[in-house]
Chain A
């Protein structure tokens, strides 16, 4: 169990002024069996008509509209999360599990994934979903090289195998594709990890009424160093920021995420 303080800063700068900007943000972590968000504050700018909602996957969604001209857009989030309360998330809505068993456009396997799937499976036969998922994670970790700039946001799992590497989002998509070929329900997770850097992505696998987190980028199980923000069928359900606006501009996005452990001086 850890007490983690987090800060998430996102800023979009436009090369020129834009207007009629509509945005949807999924940046706020929510309470789960493994984590409690003790308190948080979020500020969005330009400061405007904001609404809140919960989407079909249970994610907290902020949405709104900045009508007037502006040259930058962003949010600052900070708060405290108590993590590691449980090793897994229990299933609350069993009827929603089914949708995570099927491929999406992003995870749909082609020839590369199909043969990779065969290789993984022929090496060992595993009895439990947990150990199968573990094996898949390990094989992906060995197969792919972590490298930025190789892939883009819309890169499919099949293309990731073609390129031989990518970033955490790509590792997660490949893992989703293989698990789903095994008919294992699994979901994409966006979140934050202890340390300084950017946001992170991993996978949760359904095993006997539990969602268990696996981080294929780091080849480890998700533990109390992780704060979950959102989950979905693939990255497109978990976009931290999504927007449309009027203006022909070049955008530059700046993200910094900082998570550190709050040292508790009290002895208990």
Chain B
């Protein structure tokens, strides 16, 4: 019927952000894990610094265990997945039971991965389900506004993550452009000046990653 409350708008946005965060951090973790195996024992401390999360880990093993699976670690991938779940569970009538079920399945997959002897393989099942969630969200949700809010959440999160990982400016430019195309279709309220500023920042040759993170974080929400 095309009416969405402020609360649900907010939840859809964060559902987009958290699913992206879980998906991308698993991907990033997989890459780093590969290099940690036979190279740099302490690479995870650099990882924490970039992610702007406290390094509370005592060793390589401790890091891979807690950062992925500990619900006591508020920055862990599992904690972020539960945040995605908390937003999704109250959106059943907006996104539909079938779409929602993939978030539920991702949670079950994460629980299995936690006790698995091959955690990376377990984590792959998590990303499989998130990818399926996105696919179905795109395909099965009639309301374009709902789809667009989730997508805006995804892109905002991606820009944020890329900036933290100091990715190539070209990648950030691409995402910023996608954001520009999408955000007005979502009907969300956002800070127009801030959006212009994000677009200005990504064009600079020396990309100021710090300011970009700050700007993108303040794009949506209370002005």
| Chains A and B directly touch (beta carbon < 8 Å) | no
